[in-house]
Amino acid sequence: MIEALLAVGPLHWVALALVLLVAELLSGTTYLLWPAAAAFVTAVLAGLGITPDPLTQVAAFAGATILLTVLGDPLLKRFRNTAPAEGLNDPSVRLIGQTATVVADFVGTEGRVKLGDTEWRAQAEHAPEPAGADTLRAGEQVRVERTDGIVLKVRRLG
């Protein structure tokens, strides 16, 4: 066992780093990223002869792991986007900005529009004038401003 420890060299540290990187890729966390980087640092130090004996190499590995974890983890978390993308897995988000056609005259702010090959319930995003002059008419083009469940909130183009 002692002979095996005394035979540790730069290539052993590179092999450990690669094993840790593969495990990191499989886990999807950053828990093994810093020890893998520390193993690469230790391999470089051992290769340059800065840490000639195995005990010094293990100490360098432990120190580099701690230092990289303390300094690197907060830095990585700051630049890593951990918030889910807005609208991820929400197909209704793709409808926003699309142009639809009014199927029948709106009654007040309520009506139906056709978008692609589907008819949708819709609500006008503005209040109609009392005389109904601002009512959306059949055949008019509207833009989808937002969605509320299965109801499209639309606004007249122009």
Q: Is 103 exposed, middle or buried (0-12, 13-18, 19+ CB in 10 A)?
A: middle
Q: Which CATH architecture fits 91-156?
A: Beta Barrel (2.40)
Provide the residue ranges of all domains of the chain, joining segments of one domain with +.
2-79, 91-156
Give per-residue pLDDT as tens, 103-119: 999 998 999 999 989 99
pTM of the full predicted structure? 0.50
Structure token digits, residue 138: 């059949």
Give per-residue pLDDT as tens, 72-110: 888 877 776 655 566 667 777 889 999 999 999 999 899
Contact predicate 145/155, CB 8 Å: yes
